[in-house]
Amino acid sequence: MKLMCGNANKPLAKTIADYLDSPLSNVEIETFADGELFCRIDENMRGEDVFLIQPTSKPANTHLMELLICIDALSRASARRITAVIPYFGYARQDRKTGGRTPITAKLVANLIARAGADRVLTLDLHAGQIQGFFDIPTDNLFTTPVFEQDIRKHYQTDNLLIVSPDVGGVVRARALAQRLGAEIAIVDKRRPRAGVSEVMNIIGEVEDRRCIIFDDIIDSGGTLCNAAAALKDQGAAEVSAYITHGVLSGKAVERIESSVLKELVVTDSIDVRERSAAAPNIRVLGVAPLLGEAIRRIANEESVSKLFD
């Protein structure tokens, strides 16, 4: 087994390598004057089972091209199997046609990864589970639910706890966490008049005097989360925290979180947010390297990945 990574999230890749007690392979990624990328792998990859760790986070296009170029380099170096480990799968929100003459970019990216030469994909909390069907190669979608459950039990009392889905589409995700914690759920009914803007219409469920935890897969600009937290407080919630897998945190998201009613926002290190999270005292980063590392170990040993969530 060989591990290698691009530039998107080297700290996570190093932590995974430490967990597996396997060093990262040497790879050089250069950028030419006109913005073109070049990859050179400095180790023999012939016949190896290679795991390439590269989320497609900001800048999404650059990191996606790094992923594709590295996969092509590994394929031409005669690697036996190439697994693209994509902790954060960018373009996942473009998983359907939202109007006439619009693309389904998540499917396009899935095609690019497969055509580049990847044999398998390992990812974390896809925005929509059906995106697995966009790939024509085996795809493992890991869930952060066990990691979040353990952290919630460590930092919160589970009595009087309420798990909140920020929209109807996240109900299944919220219910899975609530069942593990023996908690009830509530739903934020919202509408989105345009991309990046949401308005809370109603809260479905009894939230008065409850300790609410909003559970979602992506926080981008932070507007939806902050509006939902404010609506919960207006309905009488005792406190509001949030557990979000992927901390995109674009624009003024950090400032919004810092000035919001949120007691705490917990995100994973699927995206490298160390600098941005350090600017807000109520943002905490939770590591997912053990989860990803154990999945990589199981794939390399041809063991079941789904048993991680039994």
88-143 pLDDT per residue, tens: 999 999 999 989 999 999 999 999 999 999 999 999 999 999 999 999 999 999 99
pLDDT of residue 194: 65
CA–CA separation, 124 and 139 (whole Å):
11
Inform me whether the pLDDT recorded for 253 exceeds 80.
yes
Annotated catalytic residue within 190, 252, 263, 307:
190
pLDDT of residue 169: 86
Instruction: Kindly tell me the burial class for residue 289, based on how many C-beta atoms sit within 10 Å of its own C-beta (0-12, 13-18, 19 or more).
Output: buried
Binding-site annotation, residues for D-ribose 5-phosphate: 192, 216, 220-224
Inform me whether the pLDDT recorded for 198 exceeds 80.
no
pLDDT of residue 278: 87
pLDDT above 90 coverage of the chain, percent = 90
| Architecture label for domain 2-142 | 3-Layer(aba) Sandwich (3.40)
Pick the CATH number of 145-287 from 3.40.50.2020, 3.60.20.30, 1.10.287.40, 3.30.530.20: 3.40.50.2020
pLDDT of residue 279: 84
Q: Chain-wide mean pLDDT for the chain?
A: 95
190 is catalytic: yes
177-187 pLDDT per residue, tens: 999 999 999 99
Same CATH fold, 145-287 and 2-142?
Answer: yes
Q: Could you tell me the end-to-end alpha-carbon distance of the chain, in angstroms, rounded to an integer?
A: 26
Domain ranges of the chain: 2-142, 145-287
Binding-site annotation, residues: 34-36, 93-94, 127, 167, 192, 216, 220-224
Whole-prediction pTM: 0.95
Burial 163-201 (b: 16+ CB within 10 A, else e): bbbbbeebeebbbbbbebbebbbbbbebeeeeeeebebe
Tell me the torsion sign for CA atoms 220, 224, 228, 231: positive
